[in-house]
Amino acid sequence: MYPLIRNRRLRTSESIRRLIRETIVTPDDFLVPLFVVEGKGIKEEIPSMPNYYRLSLDLLEKEIKELWKMGLCAVLLFVKVDEKLKDNKGTEAINPNGLMQRAVKTIKNVCPEMLVMTDVALDPYSSYGHDGIVANGQILNDETAEVLAEMSVSHAKTGADFVAPSDMMDGRILTIREALEDEGFTNTGIMSYSAKYASAFYGPFRDALDSAPVDVANVPKDKKTYQMDYANRYEAVRETQMDIDEGADIVMVKPGLCYLDIVREIKNEVDVPVAVYQVSGEYAMLKAAAEKGWLDHDAVMLEQLTAIKRAGADIIASYFAKDFVKVCG
Ligand code: PBG
């Protein structure tokens, strides 16, 4: 065929490359994770996440307005809970006047169109730093799912558009869906962290929320009995299919970069939107390398985000959302 066919013809100029480009990341693709804390005027940088902050509600308001102006239309909320309010059952999670509940109201008050998703899992509220209730050295499944359902209803009552269970208990999507239906929240969506791996890339996030599993006797030291083994691929398809059958509107693969084979596998198998979470450790790695002058921050960021979308992501949860808009928006 050569020289009649020369693949390089389609790469000769930026214009032809633009014309035939298959994958374009836009601000519409992003779900912006936000960390909320109690207090006033608080904007604390997370040490392992340079240029990423925990915000008190008053500054959250400002941030939301700024994000909306930048063309970012969806946020994913996490709260840092006071140590005194933590217990094994995550009781504070269903406080109608809890920080998460007030955060949703605050956002809906200043920017009703902003899509609000809330994290649903016990770890920020758990005295043991686990996503579920701990008993006899184990994480209780069904009892945890019941609390997650109550938590979801509580978030829906405050105006959350979607709840996002990130815990990996079995059957929790069905338990949550049924609870939402019973309470009349038929339009509240569920984005399930359906293929969430037990990953070492979550370290900076656990610093941000002070939510790492504690080191005490008879409490598991890691999350490997509920989050997936990163050696497994087909299990991710089964997990995801089950969550869809139970009522998940959006499914997710997490982390991102090391798991793009899983993203493609799932994208080929399912017909609901697929979200990918480019997690805190991925953010930290690039920030650190860029700080040292070893990588070109913006170029690598764009390459990574494009790769995530090319692999099949319909939604990208990423701490780079604002950086992306500043570079490309
Ligand atoms: C916990 C939760 C985690 C993340 C989101 N929700 C951490 C964990 O499972 O320990 C990690 C996100 C990130 O690293 O950016 N339910």
Is 239 among the annotated ligand-binding positions?
A: yes
Tokens of residue 230, six digits: 């990163």
**Binding pocket residue ranges, ligand 1, CB within 6 Å:** 119, 121, 123, 131, 166-167, 202, 205-206, 223, 279-280
**Domain assignment present for 283:** yes
78, 163, 166, 176, 234 from 157: Cα distances, Å: 17, 11, 20, 14, 36
Q: How many CB atoms lie within 10 A of CB 5?
A: 7
Burial of 87 (0-12, 13-18, 19+ CB in 10 A): middle
Q: How far apart are the C-alpha atoms of 110 and 67, rounded to whole Å?
A: 12
Distance 111 CA to ligand 1 centre (A): 26
Q: Specify the residue with its C-alpha closest to ligand 1, atom 14.
A: 202
Supply the range of the domain harboring residue 201. Answer: 22-328
pLDDT score, position 302? 98
Query: Side-chain half-sphere of 194: how many Cα atoms within 13 Å?
Result: 35
Residue 323 placed within a domain = yes
Phi, psi of 224 (to 5 degrees): -70, -10
210 CA distance to ligand 1 middle (Å): 11
Q: Which of 259, 239, 235 is nearest to 251 (CA)?
A: 239
Tell me if residue 105 is catalytic: no
Q: Ligand 1, atom 2: nearest CA belongs to which residue?
A: 166
Rounded to the nearest angstrom, the distance between the alpha carbon of 202 and the centre of ligand 1 is 6
> In this structure, is residue 201 part of a structural domain?
yes
Per residue in 200-228, pLDDT (tens digit) is 999 999 999 999 999 999 999 999 999 99
Cα 203 to Cα 4, 220, 252, 255, distances in angstroms: 53, 17, 19, 12
Residue 329 predicted with pLDDT over 90: no
- 17 domain-assigned: no
Could you tell me the pTM of the whole model?
Answer: 0.97
CATH of the domain at 321: 3.20.20.70
Mutate to test the pocket of ligand 1, among 125, 128, 205 (most ligand atoms within 8 A of CB): 205
What per-residue confidence (pLDDT) applies to 115?
98
- Residue nearest to ligand 1 atom 10, measured at CA: 202
Q: Considering 80, 86, 254, 322, which one is annotated as catalytic?
A: 254
> Residue 257: which of 210, 295, 201, 178 has the closest Cα?
201
* Other beta carbons within 10 Å of 204: 22
Q: How far is the CA of 205 from the centre of ligand 1 (A)?
A: 6
Please indicate, yes or no, if residue 287 is contained in any of the structural domains. Answer: yes
Specify if 3 maps to a domain. no
For the CA of 202, the closest atom of ligand 1 is 14
Q: Are 78 and 209 in contact (CB under 8 A)?
A: yes
Span from the CA of 299 to the centroid of ligand 1 (angstroms) = 26
Please state, rounded to an integer, the average pLDDT across all residues of the chain: 98
Is position 254 annotated as part of the catalytic site? Answer: yes
120-135 pLDDT tens trace = 999 999 999 999 999 9
Pick the atom of ligand 1 nearest to 166's CA: 16
Where are the extended beta strands (E) located within 174-314?
A: 189-196, 250-254, 274-278
Sequence-separated (6 or more) residues with CB below 8 Å from residue 162: 115, 116, 117, 118, 188, 189, 190, 191, 249, 250
Q: Which of 80, 89, 196, 287 is catalytic?
A: 196
Which CB contacts under 8 angstroms, 24+ apart, belong to 261-266?
261/233, 261/311, 262/195, 262/233, 262/236, 263/308, 263/311, 263/312, 263/313, 264/311, 264/312, 265/233, 265/236, 265/237, 266/195, 266/236, 266/237, 266/240, 266/312
* Nearest atom in ligand 1 to 196's CA: 9
Mutate to test the pocket of ligand 1, among 131, 147, 191 (most ligand atoms within 8 A of CB): 131
Residue 228 domain-assigned?
A: yes
| Residue-wise pLDDT tens digits, 52-72 | 999 999 999 999 999 999 999
> Which residues have CB under 8 Å from 210's CB, separation 6+?
80, 83
Number of domains in the chain: 1
What letter represents residue 251's amino acid?
V
255 neighbors 279 (Cβ within 8 angstroms): yes
Residue 131 alpha carbon, nearest atom of ligand 1: 16
Residue 6 inside a domain? The answer is: no
| Residue range 66-96, pLDDT digits in tens | 999 999 999 999 999 999 999 999 999 999 9
Residues 6+ apart with CB under 8 A from 235: 228, 229
